[in-house]
A and B are shown apart, each in its own frame.
Chain A
């Protein structure tokens, strides 16, 4: 589904990604871990099409097509969804309005009819249950005055409505207490399926107790320094990033050179 080859990118005048290689297949959940500043969020934003990040090399194929050519809305319509680490507050735009406009944009692109008001509402109500979101939030302005947990739930709720093919969750666990984390993870798990891939970006192993990944990648200084199964995340918790990077240096270097 997603194929990243030697991706390099700059942001804020600094080279952040120094050659990322990653293949994600349909139905898989990949965890991207790494210390602060390793390039996790930059990777997420490059994939979503953020214009402030400049791609300086490499390529990204989404279902065989050149993803980097598309503007952000095209990527969203093709089925890429980024759950933001810091969801943006947009006073004056209602959550409901955004959701409807987004869903209809996506449906139109996929050659589907727009949902009428009743269909939309019943779908929305059903999907809200996934993340136990308060219905009152629907009529409020997008994320305005939402608590940290409400913002994250809202992201996963949007994802549930838009039904993306590739979901990128950027530190969805940050700022969540354990109860909220369980709810959000439950929502994510409910959306796992054979046709959908997910990239779960996180700093901590904690989230991966709830969203069990198929693959774990450790990012450091803009490169994937090691990859493995779920056990890599556990090892990471035990040894810390420094330990893992030390282990990886011997084994990962030849792979990076190839």
Chain B
């Protein structure tokens, strides 16, 4: 057994060594950022990885991750990304702006940035650090706080690249922006710590797709942090397809601060990965702010996906809608642990939280822990959680019309996820994910039938 004290030296040592090499690199030497990195690393080293003794991590042990050794590694050769894979990952025939990152490093040769409206800054974070230092410094760490989450500190320690988007007041991005993160281990298992910063000004609008994928069978570790700042009346729609390889460790955090009458939505679709933890934190920090958090996780084999969300109604008249759905096959485990906090002053808040799970095998496991913490007295809040299997009545009905057992099952699974997929408003993305999802399904049931 591991010691209860988290900051075990052997767990931290590889990261300290990697950090020592990382900061020697001149590119990472900028003064203000260097000191932030140092602080973050020092805090992380003192605390170590979270353990299941902490309430927020009770369902997910990071031991398989902690026992493995990862290092910052050079980006894979671009040839590893074959044209057909690239097409799939960029949701061909979707013709939009793609920023591609390989092992966390911006790959300009693979990227394509369309002309953006006047005043919009859309670039890699590395470049933004060099060219838009004021903007970066003003917003970095504004929403994501490493003191509350050690993995965010780990991310900050190795912070060097990611998506940077700044949309000035009143500007509207007509086309979505896709940041694609592709990982691959070359010898040493690779780790990357992408950091994305999305700043949308007063009344401005943007849609961002942040997607993660991998190449090859070797394990790798992605530890991503995304910060979103939505100023008054801004509209930010965010999508997050996760298509990591089966052996991958994927930890991520999205932290959004939503101001007066602004709207933020994020939709996660988790399909891949061995051990996945997705945190989402939203603060409704202005009157009438609203957010929508949707999540779909479709798992098989030994996959483990933990969805951890926190919606903080900090001001009056806020609205939040949350719907997470899990489809669990094989020996997979899917977790939804969602908290909604309504502060004392946040009167007239309206919050609805729903988690539904569909178990397709006897060995799959779903945990659902919806939590409301309400300090105000004039609010409308509800939550619901269900864990069930395919309905025998519905299966029989479909079969009695001539549909084969497998077709009927797949159709019901498809029906279960259809509302969430239907909410993806970028058609090629919706179609691509649906296709990926349903080419996987028959395999599951064919296996079961044999």
Contacts and interface: CB of A to CB of B under 8 A. Distances in A.
B407 interface: yes
Contacts of B407: 101, 105
B402 A162 contact: yes
A91 B415 contact: yes
Interface residues of B, number: 24
A76 B400 contact: yes
Contacts of A50: 396
B411 A72 contact: no
A27 to B, nearest CB: 23
Interface in B375-401: 391-394, 396-401
User: Which one of B397, B398, B415, B419 has the greatest number of beta carbons of chain A within 10 Å?
Assistant: B397
A118 B268 CA distance: 37
Given A101-B403, A105-B403, A92 B419 contact: yes
B405 interface: yes
Contact of A88 (B397, B404, B405, B411): B397
B399 A73 contact: yes
A-side interface size class? 20 to 34
A106 B397 contact: no
Interface in B244-260: none
A49 B399 contact: yes
Contact of A76 (B392, B402, B415, B418): B402
A43 to B, nearest CB: 15
Contacts of B404: 73, 105
Main secondary structure on B side of the interface with A = helix
Given A51-B396, A52-B392, A84-B397, A92 B403 contact: no
Nearest to A101: B403
Contact of B396 (A72, A109, A142): A72
Interface string B408-423: 1001101111110000
Interface string A103-121: 1011001000000000000
A49 B400 CA distance: 8
A77 B402 contact: yes
Contact of B415 (A71, A92, A106): A92
A1 interface: no
Contacts of B392: 51-52
Given A93-B411, A93-B412, A93-B415, A88 B402 contact: no
B412 A71 contact: no
Interface string B65-79: 000000000000000
Contact of B401 (A52, A91, A141, A162): A162
A242 interface: no
A88 B393 contact: yes
Contacts of B397: 84, 87-88, 90, 142
A105 to B, nearest CB: 4
A90 B415 contact: yes
Contacts of B411: 93, 98, 101
Interface string B104-124: 000000000000000000000
Nearest to B406: A73
22 contacts: A48-B400, A51-B392, A73-B400, A73-B402, A73-B405, A73-B408, A76-B402, A88-B393, A88-B397, A90-B394, A90-B412, A93-B415, A98-B398, A98-B401, A101-B403, A102-B401, A102-B403, A105-B404, A105-B407, A142-B397, A158-B401, A162-B401
Interface of B: 391-394, 396-405, 407-408, 411-412, 414-419
The 7 closest A-B pairs by CB, nearest first: A92-B415, A76-B402, A105-B402, A102-B401, A72-B399, A88-B397, A92-B418
